[in-house]
Structure 1
Amino acid sequence: MRLLLVYGLLLLCALLEVESKRRDPPKKSINNREVTTLPPHEHIVAPGPDEDLQTEELKPLDDEFYLENDVNICENMVDGAMLPFVGKCSKYIYCNQSEIEEIGDCESPWYKEHLCAKGDYDDCHIAFNYRTQLCVYAHTTECLPKCDPEKMSSFCYDRTCSKYVLCFYGVPVLRQCFDGLQYNAETDRCDYPQYVDCVENHCNDQATPENINYLPSKAHCGKYYVCSEGTTWAQRCTEGLIFNPNCNCCDYPSNYKCSITAEQRNIKSFARAPPRRADITCPDSGHHYFAHKRRSDAYYYCSNGRGVTLDCTPGLVYDAKVHECREAKFIAL
């Protein structure tokens, strides 16, 4: 009887130890951050973007979006340059000595008084035109794109080739490419410059209709840009034709050899190939980046409890120090 009692106590202790481990799983450090790890059969999968989570309603972006961001939006910008504000068309960012000196608003009383008719302030809307660097009537200019709340996407931050905005189902975050890499709007990620169409800075704002510039695409043989008065318009040739820079026209492939290899890589954008759900437990709030558990050319992005796996451009690897994909030779081991 005494022996059975001992066996019973030992069994009870073992069960309690298992239960304790189940409730308090071990922890380890990932990117200098302590995170919980679980056995494979108990691993919690981060909620996908299509799942119904109890999240707060999206709020308009405030100045902290720039002032408390790891990406310095004014880096490498000339003194006095003004940049558009993500999420609000009337606001602008004034750069000086590669830092944000001021965040202004074209809807301020001063601009209203000088641009709007007296007594018409409520119906008069002013927006920032980054091409002319002026506050103008809103209907005469274009704003930065808005993040689509229904999908993951990205867009270029105007007048820069290395900075872009990543949209995770309505929530924007600023991102930056390093070491000469450029943002590729066709693939939603940092890429080698020989595959990227970053043409705005090559379009002279003094150009006139009599002196229109044509810029060939580096990503597609049948794509080109028409440049006039500082503005570029993307154009595509009819299927079966390619752009010939010798005549600035769409031509037969037999008349011009196009050696662009970007299309052969077959890297799909987030809209065409939505990212896979992350297989880690994401923090409930905030934006976080983590190195992939098994792959050096991928990483996890978590936003307010939701998580996805993002792939680097082939040839690049993820650098946990800057939270972006880079060439391996630039990553300090």
Structure 2
Amino acid sequence: MPQLISISLFVVFFGANTLADPIACDNPNNKVQLQSVSSSCNRFLVCVLNTGTEIACPNGLYFDQNDGKCDKPEKVLCYKSDDEENCHPACVGDAENVAHNEKCEKYISCVNGCDGTMKTCPAGLYFNPILLECDTPDHAECLLNICADNADEKWIIVGSINSCRRYYFCFGKTVIPQNCAYGTFFDPTTLRCELDSVTNPCDVNRLPTPPDSVIELCKPDAELEYIPHPDDRTVYFRCLNGNLTVRQCPPGLVFDNRLQQCNFPGAVV
């Protein structure tokens, strides 16, 4: 049976998502219903008033329809897709770097939406799941810490400090990440996604394009590698199969070419 949750704040939650693309679902009342997604063991649908939002469990976890929660795969009866059967569970889809679900300093580096390698940030840093970088703990927004101070059985909404489109739903200590639709931003005063405007812009940082010297280093048959910017220590490029993606380290950090990660400047040799 689908899991039902009676909580008034979920009305606010779905009000905040009305500007995103809705998913039709069968639940006409105002109680929240959690439904499994037939195409994936990792995802579930949060449904209320016949409108749903698809959410992914934290990396490596599957949605348990009976208990209405994400749990370890060995505890959940689910028929996996071919990709879920053969690939790292955190890397199925278009994932690049994915936060570890139990350790703030660890993450999974994904290649081609399938293969995954566990990595650890340099000492003193946590993985930032929004910037996809190692970052200082006060800025990293580790999912394990966002709802840590919330009371059990209480719902709250928390805005991101790294993205104006990102916010979190906390139910007790459980966190559910959400994104506003493009062209909108999360307003912490109304707890809703509002249309972007001149007075409330959602800033987008324009990172530098790769110079010719970097383009020449990224070969079509290249396995995953990271190439530092020749002039800017905070910028580097992710190269895979000839495709380059620009990345920038969080404030106060620089790219450490030896570790292939962002790090404190004093620790880079």
TM-score of the pair, normalised by structure 1: 0.41
Q: Which has the higher helix share?
A: 1
Q: Which has the higher strand share?
A: 2
Q: Which has the larger radius of gyration?
A: 1
TM-score of the pair, normalised by structure 2: 0.48
